[in-house]
């Protein structure tokens, strides 16, 4: 996992006591430019001088420097994340939904690259997802990114929901931040497809800048990263009416369809559909290649004589199932 190089521009570190006030003032100050564009600023991370094969740091600095934005340094603690949810999409996409960018306390980033080509199904309707990528930020880079999210990205002064002027079939963009004394999740409906001006136009422009930066974190692949190698996956099982072309035999002698249990749908990211945590060994039993990024459209013939659609996606280190 490459350790990305230091940003070339200076990193400003606001004091914790002044963070909330400064956030509000900066959001007001950038109102004029925010209303004029939603294009992302230039990336602050330079192209890496290290190769993807180099080992990452074991962890970020245990104690941030005096005056820095405080945050956890634990490897499984999320300090910044963006994901999408909702909207009118096929159930398979909902089952495969996952965060597009996550920054952990130790500086490790796991992200999905902005696709240049949408993966197409094969002759049997199977779609293999693009592999997730991972890299490591040093503490100065973590500080710069958190400051951008809190101030230029608007999260420091944001409320929890922005649903006015929403679009019923549009997804919600959901930001999560735990840093600088700010612990919140911000849900924004229809970000980037706003149909009219409103009282939240400045905030939405700030959120759009942050989303653009996080969703193209590696600037089209120009910043080095490694393929994310998950230790666990989520397998989702959907009963089908009949067998389809390319149906595979059930690959797990010790796993039964009844071992896939429906979730409670309590809003914590767990799918309502029957699902199960799968190990790398379980996934290897499928005898498929190129599924590090997950798979949709796979059809399995169950040992109970029924036919099932199977969906697989990697789990991140903070996800229980």
Q: How much is the pLDDT for 254?
A: 97
Choice between 119 and 286, residue whose per-residue pLDDT is larger: 286
**How are strands ordered across the β-sheet holding 101-104?**
161-162, 182-189, 172-179, 78-85, 101-104, 108-111, 133-136, 226-227
pLDDT in tens, 273-311: 899 999 999 999 999 988 888 998 899 999 999 999 999
State residue 267's pLDDT score: 53
pLDDT computed for residue 92 by the predictor: 59
Say what percent of the chain tops pLDDT 90: 50
pTM, to two decimals: 0.77
Whether 22 and 151 have beta carbons less than 8 Å apart is answered as: yes
Lowest mean pLDDT among 13-22, 44-53, 88-97, 145-154: 44-53
pLDDT tens for residues 47-92?
Answer: 333 333 333 333 334 455 445 999 999 999 999 999 987 655 555 5
The yes-or-no verdict on residue 26 having pLDDT over 60 is: no
Tell me the C-alpha distance between 115 and 216, whole Å: 9
SS3 for the chain is CCECCCCCCCCCCCCHHHHHHHHHHHHHHCHHHHHHCCCCCCCCCCCCCCCCCCCCCCCCCCCCCCCCCCCCCCCCCEEEEEEEECCCCCHHHHHCCCCCEEEECCCEEEECCCCCCCCCCCCCCCEECCCCEEEECCHHHHHHHHHHHHHHCCCCCCCCEECCCCCCCCCEEEEEEEECCEEEEEEEECCCCCCCCCCCHHHHHHHHHHHHHHHCCCCCCCCCCEECCCCEEEEEEEEECCCCCCCEECCCCCCCHHHCECCCCCCCCCCCCCEEEEEHHHHHCCCCCCCCCCEEEEEEECCCCCEEEEEEEECCCCCCC
């Amino acid at each position: 996992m490459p350790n990305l190089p230091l940003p070339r521009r200076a990193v400003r570190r606001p004091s914790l006591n002044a963070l909330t006030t400064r956030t509000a003032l900066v959001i007001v100050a950038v109102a004029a430019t925010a209303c004029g564009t939603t294009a992302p600023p230039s990336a602050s991370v330079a192209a890496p001088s290290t190769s993807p094969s180099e080992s990452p740091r074991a962890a970020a600095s245990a104690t941030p420097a005096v005056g820095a934005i405080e945050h956890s340094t634990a490897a499984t603690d999320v300090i910044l994340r963006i994901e999408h949810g909702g909207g009118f999409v096929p159930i398979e996409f909902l089952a495969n939904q996952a965060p597009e960018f996550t920054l952990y306390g130790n500086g490790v980033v796991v992200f999905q690259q902005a696709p240049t080509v949408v993966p197409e199904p094969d002759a049997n309707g199977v779609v293999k997802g693009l592999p997730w990528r991972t890299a490591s930020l040093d503490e100065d880079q973590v500080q710069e990114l958190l400051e951008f999210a809190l101030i230029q990205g608007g999260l420091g002064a944001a409320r929890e929901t922005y649903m006015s002027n929403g679009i019923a079939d549009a997804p919600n963009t959901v930001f999560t931040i735990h840093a600088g004394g700010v612990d919140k999740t911000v849900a924004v409906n229809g970000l980037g497809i706003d149909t009219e001006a409103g009282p939240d136009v400045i905030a939405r422009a700030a959120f759009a800048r942050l989303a653009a930066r996080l969703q193209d974190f590696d600037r089209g692949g120009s910043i080095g990263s490694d393929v994310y190698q998950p230790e666990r996956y989520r397998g989702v099982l959907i009963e089908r009416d009949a067998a389809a072309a390319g149906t595979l035999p059930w690959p797990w002698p010790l796993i039964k369809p009844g071992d896939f249990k429906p979730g409670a749908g309590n809003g914590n990211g767990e799918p309502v559909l029957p699902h199960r945590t799968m190990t790398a060994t379980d996934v290897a039993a499928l005898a498929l290649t190129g599924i590090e990024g997950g798979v949709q459209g796979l059809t399995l013939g169950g040992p109970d004589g029924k036919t099932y659609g199977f969906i697989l996606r990697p789990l991140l280190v903070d996800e229980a199932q």
